[in-house]
Structure 1
Amino acid sequence: MEDRVPVPSPHPAEDVTEHVGYRLKRASVALRTAMDKVLREHDLTVPQYSCLELLDEQPGLSNADLARGTFVTRQSANVVLRGLKDAGLITRPTSADHGRALPVHLTPAGRQRLHAARSAVYAIEERMIKAIPPRRLAALLADLDTMTDALGE
């Protein structure tokens, strides 16, 4: 067996659980688990809910736009959109008027489902942010954006 060469930690940490990446992943999993639970009551998945939110803000987005905005592949976005269309929550033409992009729009049922689910999701976010002092929220958001920018995303 080869001897392991120690790699210096990017910051003082006793073990992996004290690393920023570990803590971010832990928070992400906690958020996703809570969202999965409440969205199940609205017959939605997290990617479906995310698509509905994006379409509410920016009607007419394409599959590629929705894939980027919901952090899934184009193929996965197609599956998500198929489920939303089958449920009558979105409309999507079968062919494009020009180009290849097929614009997606919410139906009235989609808007209604989104608004019902949104209050449950926002309650989760409220629980999260109530755990930190309000004066630190802006700094936290800025720090998260700075870390994302540092990784080139």
Structure 2
Amino acid sequence: MPEDVTRRLGYRLKGAAAALRGAMDKALRTHGLTVPQYACLELLDQQPGLSNADLARGTFVTRQSMNVVLRGLEAEGLITRPATSDHGRALPARLTDAGQHRLDQARSAVYSIDQRLTEAIPEHRRAQFLDDLDRAAAAVAGSQR
């Protein structure tokens, strides 16, 4: 008889990720943002001028998906990008004042979710848990090469 799949680490990790994504989707919907849009705004707040490729890597989406995200944020006036680039094809994005305002409003909702997630792990185990997650991600990424 095969092992119960619900007892596997990957299954449990996927369940935790789905719960996090669902909570974030719900919280961000009230701010008119999706999770990739919010993540993009956060990254641009921390590192203005990132390219589409940089943002795609940082938000765990494809470059094609990030193009859609950036066009939507640009259409809403939340980011700006130059029409042309001085350096190849990269069009560095920056938050507008409206984008900063929307991010500031949404941030507390997302940070509240993150705080609940953090508090679910006993404080004395958090550093080890984070290290374990990093090692697990590296092990899986290494197996894809």
Partner Cα distance (1:120, 1:47) in 2: 15
Q: Secondary structure at the match of 1:88?
A: coil
Partner Cα distance (1:82, 1:130) in 2: 36
Matched, 1:61 2:44: no
What is aligned with 1:41?
A: 30
Over the aligned positions, Cα root-mean-square deviation in angstroms equals 1.4
1:97-112 alignment to 2 at 5 Å? 97-112=86-101
Q: Deviations over 1:37-62 (max 9, x none)?
A: 00000000000000001111111000
Give the partner amino acid of 2:12: R
Give the partner amino acid of 1:120: A
Partner Cα distance (1:55, 1:95) in 2: 19
Q: Secondary structure at the match of 2:132?
A: helix
CA radius of gyration, larger in: 1
Partner Cα distance (1:86, 1:31) in 2: 28
Aligned match of 1:137 in 116, 122, 126? 126
User: How far is 1:130 from its partner?
Assistant: 1.4
What is aligned with 1:27?
A: 16
What is aligned with 1:151?
A: 140
TM-score (norm 2): 0.93
What is aligned with 1:11?
A: none
What is aligned with 2:7?
A: 18
Partner Cα distance (2:141, 2:68) in 1: 28
TM-score (norm 1): 0.88
Aligned match of 1:86 in 75, 86, 93? 75
Partner Cα distance (1:130, 1:81) in 2: 33
Partner Cα distance (1:98, 1:17) in 2: 49
Structure 1: unaligned runs, 5 residues or longer = 1-5, 8-13
Q: Secondary structure at the match of 1:151?
A: helix
User: How far is 1:151 from its partner?
Assistant: 2.0
Pick the structure with more helix per residue: 2
Matched, 1:125 2:125: no
Q: Secondary structure at the match of 2:71?
A: helix
Give me the identity figure in percent. Answer: 67
Partner Cα distance (1:119, 1:144) in 2: 25
Partner Cα distance (1:88, 1:126) in 2: 30
